[in-house]
Amino acid sequence: MSEDVWSEHDTNPDAIEAALRELLRERHAANDGLAPARVLNLVVVVDRSWKGEIANRLERVGRYHASRTVLCAVEERRESLDAVVVMSYEEPVPGSIGVIREQVEIDMGERHLARLDTIVDPVIASELPTTLWCPHGHERAVEALLGMTDVLLLDSDDEAEPAEALARAVELLDSAYVVDLAWLRTTPWRERLAASFDPRQRLPDLRRISGLAVRHKQTSTASALLLAGWLSSRLHWQPEALQAVDSSGLRGAAQRNGDQVEIELLSADQSAPGLAGVTISCQPGFSLSLDRGPGGLRAREQTGQGTKREWQVLGASRGEGGILGEGVRQALLRDPTYGPALDAARRLCPQ
């Protein structure tokens, strides 16, 4: 990977934008087989002391890099702007094309956040959708940039209080499309559950679900709530607030046509964020459990007649880098089921 770099202390947005244009012009003149990626802008606002960690996370997103990343690193008492512009590319073989990715890092002070839009707006590629990610909060930055943001990337699992995190997501959903990493951690589970109940003979069981248990890393309660919220919204259950039983989790129920669906969200000993397992029980006596295991999920089924079966469902873990990459990719798509699932998940939150 080759890089062209420009940097300046005590700079301004016009100079950064001019540097971007000039670096592109020079690179294109040197090799017209290189063209800038034009998919989306990603604006990231972080505490400066964590800039390196976030930059590393962004490096690990695999192939789902934003076209232009603007990393705003905030320092409490900084007065001026320092910026670095990096253009990365691989020289294409003759006759083919190579893609240029642009990264802008701007060191700034807290005082810049209130009108951050005046700094970021000139620097993004204006014809592309813009995704905003503020992993360290920075509410003032969110407020300032909301008007120019198409997609908000957030992680409801990052917040200490899941109920507050979900409430915040609902609030933001009014202003922009929300991509929630906590929701994306449930994707493989949702796909597998949908597939498990898709065969004609299994489909009626969806109307006979009597219990749902979701096992999750202790800090991923939001993911667990979103999975339960998804099932509630898709299957027209009326969710009710769960109760904290002890430190191990939440318990309660949802109503379905007068019947009750028992719901349990249980902490599991797991290092990776997200879910550890799901069990769905149906009347009379059928249950299906999916649990994380090497090389995919371990499936355990018990039929109504008491027969037990166990098998492996293949799939490689995407890891947290993959989840963030998926978040970037999802910014270009629209999932109509997140909003209803979020709504139901909020109603499941303990009062």
Partner 1 sequence: MSATATGESAENPLVAGLERLPVHPTSLVIFGGTGDLAHRKLLPALYNLAHEGALPERFEMIGVARREKEDEAFQDMARESIERYSRTKPDPDVLEGLLSDMRYVPGAFDDDEVYAELERTLKQFDEQAGEQLDRVFYLSTAPQFFPVIAGKLGEAGLNRAEQAEVRIVIEKPFGYDLASARSLNTEVLGVFEESQVFRIDHYLGKETVQNLMALRFANALFEPVWNRNFIDNVQITAAEDIGIEGRAGYYEGAGALRDLVQNHMLQLLALLTMEPPAAFEANRLRDEKLKVLEAIVPPAPEEVGAMAVRAQYAPGVSGGSEVPGYREEEGVAADSRTETYAALRLHVSNWRWAGVPFYLRTGKRLARKVTEIAVTLKPVPHLAFQSSGSVGVQCNQIVLTVQPDEGVSVSLGAKIPGPRMRIRPVNMEFRYGTSFMSQSPEAYERLILDAMRGDATLFTRNDEIEALWGVIDPILTAWHEDTSSPIPEYPAGSAGPAQADQLLDGDRHWRRL
Smallest distance from partner 1 to CB 294, Å: 4
Contact between 327 and 132 under an 8 Å Cβ cutoff? The reply is no
Helical H segments across 151-186, by residue range: 162-173, 181-184
Q: Which is nearer to partner 1, 99 or 272 (CB)?
A: 99
Q: Which is nearer to partner 1, 1 or 316 (CB)?
A: 316
Smallest distance from partner 1 to CB 224, Å: 17
Q: Which is nearer to partner 1, 13 or 33 (CB)?
A: 33
Contact between 67 and 125 under an 8 Å Cβ cutoff? The reply is yes
Smallest distance from partner 1 to CB 160, Å: 29
Q: Which is nearer to partner 1, 7 or 303 (CB)?
A: 303
Q: What token pair was written down for 225?
A: 């709530």
Q: Which residues bind partner 1 (CB under 8 A)?
A: 35-39, 63-65, 95-97, 99, 187-188, 190-201, 203, 206, 231, 234-235, 294-296, 299, 301, 303, 307, 309, 311-316, 328-329, 333, 335-338
For 126, residues 6+ apart whose C-beta sits below 8 A from its C-beta are none
Smallest distance from partner 1 to CB 325, Å: 8
Smallest distance from partner 1 to CB 297, Å: 8
Smallest distance from partner 1 to CB 217, Å: 20
Burial profile 182-193: b = 16 or more Cβ within 10 angstroms, e = fewer: bbbbbbbbbebb
Q: Which is nearer to partner 1, 37 or 84 (CB)?
A: 37
Helical H segments across 180-220, by residue range: 181-184, 187-196
Secondary structure E strands in the chain: 2-11, 34-36, 41-47, 68-75, 81-89, 98-109, 130-133, 151-154, 177-180, 209-217, 238-239, 243-246, 249-256, 259-268, 275-282, 286-293, 296-302, 308-314
Q: Which is nearer to partner 1, 247 or 307 (CB)?
A: 307
